[in-house]
Structure 1
Amino acid sequence: GHLYNFVAYGVDPETEIIDMDEVRRLAFEHRPRMVLAGYSAYSRRLDYEAFREIADEIGAVFVVDAAHFIGLVAGGAYPNPVPHADIVTATTHKALRGPRGGLILCKEEFAKPIDKAVFPTAQGGALFNQIAAKAVCFREASTPAYGEYAHQVVRNARAMAERLTSLGLRVVSGATENHMFLVDVRSIDDELTGKEAATLLDDLGITLNRNAIPFDPRSPFITSGIRIGTPSVTTQGMKEAEVEHVAELIARALRERHDDVALKEVKGEAGELASCFPPYEAQFPGHV
């Protein structure tokens, strides 16, 4: 059945940054019971204060979906939504580097209804191995080393976006302030699609995904963009020099995608770079 009526807000066509004037206009027009801030492919910071003000003006609950950036918040590398939101939801994987799962933080007045909505409405028996893994994840996120990881993730994303820009690729909104960004592959040439770019790069050992960009004329299954994130390579130990090299490989592969010799060279360089930063030690007992 129909449970919710979502009203979407967007980004400014020129800046590709969330248009808070549009958010306010839509909020007053539709009077939602909940105002939601969050993203899966937005490279800028959220204006929590502005969202909070709008929610208060219409008497709505303010919820932040922090799934994609809660790992940066935990490391002090991205603004914390908790002081501003009524409810914060997040995953424990992604940049937080924990097990697949989620977490919900809320003000006391929302605790009982949320608990009931989780169990028995949505959740069955608990997975205690997952709970234990979350505890390990939260413990790790409280360490100085984790804080350095989170800040390096942001530095790497910025360095990679700037290098791609210098090579002539268009980064959506012009920059990144978190762990990810979108690239408009039409800046390579008009015929290239996000699907083609992502498939090609994956074949060469560079994993990312196709992603729609703002006002994309192509379908979500084809797209005009690719989404790039840096938590994984940062966890493996790469820093600015290495991710700039990856950016160069991406640009070269896309520009010379019809040149088999060039693609073979890119694949070799990508493999050589990855071999210098193995995700696990050779004697890691989890290898199968």
Structure 2
Amino acid sequence: MPVTHAQEADLLRRQDPALAEILLGELDRQSTTLQLIAAENFTSPAVLAALGSPLANKYAEGYPGARYHGGCEIVDVAERLAVQRAKRLFGAEHANVQSHSGSSAVLAAYAALLRPGDTVLALGLPYGGHLTHGSPANFSGRWFDFVSYGVDEETGLIAYDQVRTLARTHRPKAIVCGSIAYPRHLDYAYFREVADEVGAYLIADAAHPIGLVAGGAAPSPVPYADVVCATTHKVLRGPRGGMLLCGADLAERVDRAVFPFTQGGAQMHTIAAKAVAFGEAATPAFQAYAHQVVANARFLAAALAAEGLAITTGGTDTHLITADPAPLGVDGRIARGRLAAAGMILDSCALPHDDARGLRLGTAAVTTQGMGEGEMARIAKLLAEVLRDQADSRQVREEVRDLAGGFPPYPPPYQP
């Protein structure tokens, strides 16, 4: 008979009580605080079951039907299922589901399309670009010549005219569109037009919005980009991992860029968990969830603005909000620490055209828990009280614990 999760937890307690205590401690932290980090979410118990399955034991270098190890006939079925579901979910001609992370997916996209020294145009890091978009501390900044576009100083919106001007001047081999801290939808058609004008590939780094795309709550980059890089966690609610989507013409190049160029053996338990998440994302329930994520984010952004925070771009189209807490008399780094002490977990981030730090938060996880606009109003009020230093952090911590306790992320047997 299969081992249940309760039995697994009991086995771990008996064999390694120290680690069991750590895992239960993390579960308690997640269950008693508000997870407002824009890149985090709660996977379903079914996704967790696949991650903890015997598929973790199987070595499977290569691709279905062409592995470098024997005994892959079952995991081949799992990977084919994940690929089929991803292609159907996103309307893509080809999907590669082996990337271990979003960064490794971007690395594979660059490996498929570029050579060291090529020029790449991407959103600058101070404006929300990712490390893989040219940071000197990252492989991207060391191997390629990145040119950065930015955002309008007044509106905070991407300076699309600057994108075209820089593309015409530098003639990049590829243009990257995507961000970790830009709360608005991207004009993929415009990026495609500019890429075609200068003969560049278009790479969409859709790690953040891809879950909203799956739920029909954000425009899809698939019809416009040569390669789409994405993560399978965040709003998509799958396991931590990456994937790539592309046309049939680039399928072989993308696959070879993942294996054998940038990775070895595929993580078959994670691929199976991705298949589960893709299946869940294809349901009407997930569509309703994705739209509620956006509704919650818009409501929370407006509520935070009413409390006095300056909201970048004046609002959001997605799950993500960036805000400047300076009007409340605090810098983003200090604000993050104060809020963490009160049980509200979020990130600080760079602010466009400013040396100070802001706040980056999202609504994916709290929406998974079942929270709505009423809870967003309560969160905004508590957050502002903490930043104004008008409330006892211990009292706010108890209020946060009470709020989170009404929306447990996991049912038994996952509860400690």
How much has 1:287 moved relative to structure 2? 5.0
Displacement after TM superposition at 1:123 (Å): 0.8
Aligned to 1:180, which of 310, 313, 320?
320
Aligned ranges for residues 205-220 of structure 1 at < 5 Å?
205-218=343-356
Q: Which residue of 2 aligns with 1:76?
A: 216
Q: Which residue of 2 aligns with 1:280?
A: 410
Q: Kindly state the Cα deviation for residue 263 of structure 1 after the two structures are TM-superposed.
A: 2.2
Deviations 1:194-248 (A, max 9, x none): 1111111011110101111111214xxxx2x010100000000000110111011
- Selected match of 2:254 from 98, 114, 118: 114
Partner of 1:162, secondary structure, is: helix
The within-5 A match list for 1:247-262 is 247-256=380-389, 262=392
Map 1:1-288 onto structure 2 (within 5 A).
2-189=142-329, 192-218=330-356, 223=357, 225-256=358-389, 262-281=392-411, 283-284=412-413, 286=414
Cα displacement (A) at 1:267: 1.5
**Which fold has the larger relative contact order, with Cα–Cα distance below 8 Å and residues 6 or more apart in sequence?**
2
Distance 1:287 1:92 in 2: 25
Distance in 1 (alpha carbons) for counterparts of 2:284 and 2:395: 38
- TM-score, normalized by length of structure 1? 0.93
The 1:287–1:167 alpha-carbon spacing in structure 2 relative to 1, beyond 3 Å, is closer
Q: How many residue pairs align between the two structures?
A: 276
* Letter of the structure 1 residue corresponding to residue 222 of structure 2: V
Residue-by-residue CA offset, 1:70-97 (whole Å, 9 max, x unaligned) = 0000000001111111111100011111
Paired with 1:163 and 1:262, the residues of 2 have a C-alpha distance of 21
| Structure 2 residues without counterparts, runs of 5 or longer | 1-138
CA contact (8 A) 2:368 2:409 kept: yes
Residue 131 of structure 1, CA deviation: 1.0
1:287/1:241 CA distance change after superposition, 3 Å: closer
C-alpha RMSD of matched pairs (Å): 1.2
Cα distance between partner residues in 2 of 1:244 and 1:42: 22
**Residues 341 and 393 of structure 2 are in contact (CA less than 8 Å); yes or no, is this contact kept in structure 1?**
no
Distance 2:240 2:304 in 1: 31
SS at match of 1:159: helix
SS of aligned partner of 2:348:
strand
Aligned mates of 2:355, 2:206 — CA distance in 1: 28
Structure 1: gaps (5+ residues)? none
**Which SS does the other structure have where 2:351 is aligned?**
coil
User: Deviations along 1:116-152, whole A, 9 cap, x unmatched?
Assistant: 1111111111111011101100000001111111000
Per the normalisation by structure 2, the TM-score is: 0.65
After superposition, what is the alpha-carbon deviation per residue over 1:230-274, rounded to whole angstroms, capped at 9, x for unaligned?
A: 000000000011011101111111002xx5x53232212111111
For residues 415 and 259 of structure 2, the distance between their equivalents in structure 1, rounded to whole angstroms, comes to: 35
Partner AA of 1:214 in structure 2: P
For 2:364, the aligned partner's letter is P
AA matched with 2:252 = K
The residue type paired with residue 404 of structure 2 is A
